[in-house]
Amino acid sequence: MSESIRRAAIVTGGSRGIGRAVCLALAAQGLDIVVNYAGSAAAAAETAALCEEKGVKAITVQADVSTAQGADALFEAAMAAFGRVDVLVNNAGITRDGLILRMTEEDFDQVIATNLKGAFLCAKKAARIMMKQRYGRIISISSVVGVHGNAGQANYAASKAGLIGMTKSLAKELGSRHITANAVAPGFIDTDMTRVLPEAAKTALLGQIPLGALGRPEDIGSAVAFLASEQAGYITGQVLGVDGGMGM
Ligand code: NDP
């Protein structure tokens, strides 16, 4: 691609946590950023401002990616602002944990709708644009539990395993158009999502991590930035564990 083309990335759930770190890592590589969020407008604005400090343009877009209308609105706003989408990071995610006997149908449906269907809806929009560009990177944030499972997370683990199957399928479908699709599988990362865990659970988790610490959102940001880069152009259909060795 010509040096003069400025690239743009959409990060779903870019307002906080891992999504914010991904936005900042991509901004540091010179990409303009679309910070999507569900409800945290102030946090999203703060992420966008931090990106702009790195010398790129950034916009915020409120959109529920679990609905087709939300995904449509997100991509319309991105195209209106930047005229292209080079990188899609499917990061938006929720948990509704519970053991299977207690997990409600609604808990299951909500998690699948946000974590898996949301990624499908966004990938479908991105694929159309990227096929015309003959260039693109689709990166989905899976999880170590999507590979190994986790008691109390049948819905969440299913959504994250689903992302891996979808990623490999997209890699096969879109490779001829120079579009790569990869997944990043974080272990336990210190964000709002894991801050709610009881201390005893965190201590038990630390015992399962060879590197002996929770990960930082920046650890995921740098892995995503690598997969989004030119240097990763021959990597597709892969699941990159960023988990302190937990998933071995
Ligand atoms: P947070 O709970 O800190 O942030 C979740 C983000 O997703 C927020 O930006 C939130 O927006 C957004 N979001 C939620 N629902 C929607 C929706 N329907 N439409 C658009 N945006 C939405 O989570 P983390 O940063 O911890 O996690 C980010 C991703 O990484 C998730 O997919 C998660 O499953 C995955 N992951 C996290 C791990 C961890 O240990 N933290 C481990 C493995 C994977 P808003 O701020 O507006 O609510």
Quick: pLDDT tens for 100-159: 999 999 999 999 999 999 999 999 999 999 999 999 999 999 999 999 999 999 999 999
Is a pLDDT exceeding 90 seen at residue 2? Answer: no
CA of 13 to the centre of ligand 1 (A): 6
64 lines ligand 1 (CB under 6 A): yes
Beta carbons within 8 Å of 226's beta carbon, 6+ residues apart: 232
For the question of residue 135 being annotated catalytic, the response is no
Ligand 1 pocket test target in 22, 62, 91 with most atoms within 8 Å of CB: 91
CA of 101 to the centre of ligand 1 (A): 25
Question: From the alpha carbon of 90, which atom of ligand 1 is closest?
Answer: 32
Ligand 1 pocket test target in 10, 11, 15, 18 with most atoms within 8 Å of CB: 18
The answer to whether 11 touches 118, Cβ cutoff 8 Å, is no
Structure pTM? 0.98
- How wide is the angle at C-alpha 72 spanned by C-alphas 17 and 162, nearest 5°? 55
